[in-house]
Copies of this chain bind each other. A is one copy, B any other.
Amino acid sequence: MSQINIKQLDAQSPEFDQQLKELLHTDLVVDHQVTTIVDDIIHRIKSEGDQALIALTGKLDRWTPDSVEALEITKQSQQEALARISTAEREALEKAAERVKSYHQHQLQDSWQYTEADGTVLGQKVTPLDRVGVYVPGGKASYPSSVLMNVMPAKVAGVEEVIMVVPTPDGDINDLVLAAAAISGVDRVFAIGGAQAVAALAYGTDLVPKVDKIVGPGNVFVASAKRAVFGQVAIDMIAGPSEILVICDGQTDPDWIAMDLFSQAEHDEMAQAILVSPDQAFLDAVKASIEKLLPTLSREKIVKISMESRGALIKCSDLDQAMDIANVIAAEHLELSVENPEQWLPKIRHAGAIFMGRYAAEALGDYCAGPNHVLPTSGTARFSSPLGVYDFQKRSSIIHCSADGASELGKVASVLARGEDLEAHARSAEYRIKK
C-alpha cells in the first residue's frame, strides 16, 4: 500500500473548465542553449561531412570508428543480432511486424482520374517518397517497437530506400533494435545519433545519403535539429509527453484500469494518465487499486511523480459528459472501457487512437494490434493523425485539357486573371480559346 496524492475533479463543478485547462497545460519552452549547440552541429556536418560525424560520435557517444565505413551497421550485423535474440522475442517481433504491415496496407492510396464530357481528364497521381530516414534513440529509450512503427508504413508506401540511424553510446548495440530493423526491411543502418545524425540525413554526407523525410522520436537535441532542418526535408510531428484518457462505466476490473493508467505514466514524469467515470465508487476503487499496485511496479518512482503531478480522477455526470471531456482533451490514447463502445464512437471527434471495450488495453496498440503507435500528443489530435502510409506518399494533380475543354476554361480563366491584374495569365489562357 502506498498513499497517492492524485487530483480528484468533479466535472459538474463550476471551476471544472479552468481546472481541466490547468491540468492539460504544458509549457513548451525553447531552450536557446540547445538551439545554439544544434545549429553549430548542423553547420559542422554541412561543412565537414563524414569527418564531423566521426568527431561528434567520438565526443558525444564516446566511441570512435576506425573508418568512415565503420559508421555503417551491415546487413550481416543485423542478421547476427536477429540470431542472438530469443526465439520468443523473434516470434513476437515477426508477429507484430506482420500485423502492423497488414493494417497499414489498408491505408494505401491509389492514383485516380476522371474524364469530363468534353474529354478533359482530371486526376491525382500518388507516388511514394524516394528515400526516408528513421531516427531511433539509443540507450534506455531504444525501442524495437518504434523501429517497426516508423519503418513499416514507409515500406508499405513503397519507399525505395529506408535509412535508419541509431546511436550506439559507448559502442553498445541493442540487439532487439537491430533485429527489428532486419525484420522490418530497413535498407541501411548507421550507428550515429543526435543532431549530427539528423543533419547528415537532411543534407547528406559522402557516407549517409540525403533523405526526403525524417521520422522518429528523439531527445531535445534531436527534436531541435528536426525543427531546424524542416523545410529542407519533411519531418514528422515533434512528440510531447505520452497521454492516456480512460473513460469507464464502472464495470471494468479496477486493477486493469489502474495498470492501464500506469502503462502511460511509466513512460516519464511528464506523462499524463486521466480516468473519467460517472461512478464515484468505481473511482474510489481504482484509487485503491493504484495504491495497492504502485509499490509492485519496477518504475514506481516515475509513475508516482507522473500520477501525482499530471494525473487525475474525474467524476462526470454521465457518459455523454465524458465524451465531451474527451473532445476537449483530444487525447493521444483514448480507452472507451464501457459496455457497447460503438454506441459512443460517433460522439468522439478528436483522439489519436481509440481503444474500444474492456479488452483493448492501450499496451496492445503500442506493440502489435496493427495501428501505429506514433500518435498526436498534447491535444494535437484536433488537427493531426497517427503516423501512416499517407505520410510517405505524396500527390501530384493531373490536368489534361481537351481542345474544347481548354477553350471553355480559357474564357473563365481570362476573366478571373484580368480581375487579378495578371495579364500574362489571361493571355496564356486566351491563346487556348477557339476563334
Contact = CB atoms under 8 A, between A and B. Distances in A.
Contact of A364 (B234, B303, B398, B432): B432
Given A350-B127, A431-B256, A266 B425 contact: yes
A213 interface: yes
A169 interface: no
Contacts of A353: 396-399
A250 to B, nearest CB: 17
Identical copies of this chain, number = 2
B413 A354 contact: no
Interface residues of A, number: 117
A396 B354 contact: yes
Interface in A343-392: 345, 348-357, 359-372, 375-376, 380-386, 388, 390
B266 A352 contact: no
A263 B413 CA distance: 12
Contacts of A114: 106
A359 to B, nearest CB: 4
A253 to B, nearest CB: 7
A383 B28 contact: no
Given A382-B129, A422-B263, A428 B397 contact: no
Count chain B CB atoms within 10 A of each CB in A259, A399, A411 and give the residue with the most. A399
Contact of A405 (B267, B349, B359): B359
Contacts of A376: 394
Interface string A132-156: 0000000010011100000000000
Contact of A95 (B103, B231, B397, B412): B412
A105 to B, nearest CB: 11
A59 to B, nearest CB: 28
A390 B428 CA distance: 31
A12 interface: no
Contacts of A125: 345, 348, 354
A-B pairs, 6 with minimum CB distance: A359-B406, A371-B397, A356-B400, A262-B424, A353-B397, A92-B415
23 contacts: A91-B415, A103-B122, A125-B348, A127-B350, A212-B382, A234-B384, A256-B428, A256-B432, A262-B427, A298-B423, A350-B396, A351-B396, A356-B398, A359-B405, A361-B413, A361-B432, A363-B417, A364-B432, A368-B412, A369-B399, A371-B398, A371-B399, A386-B396
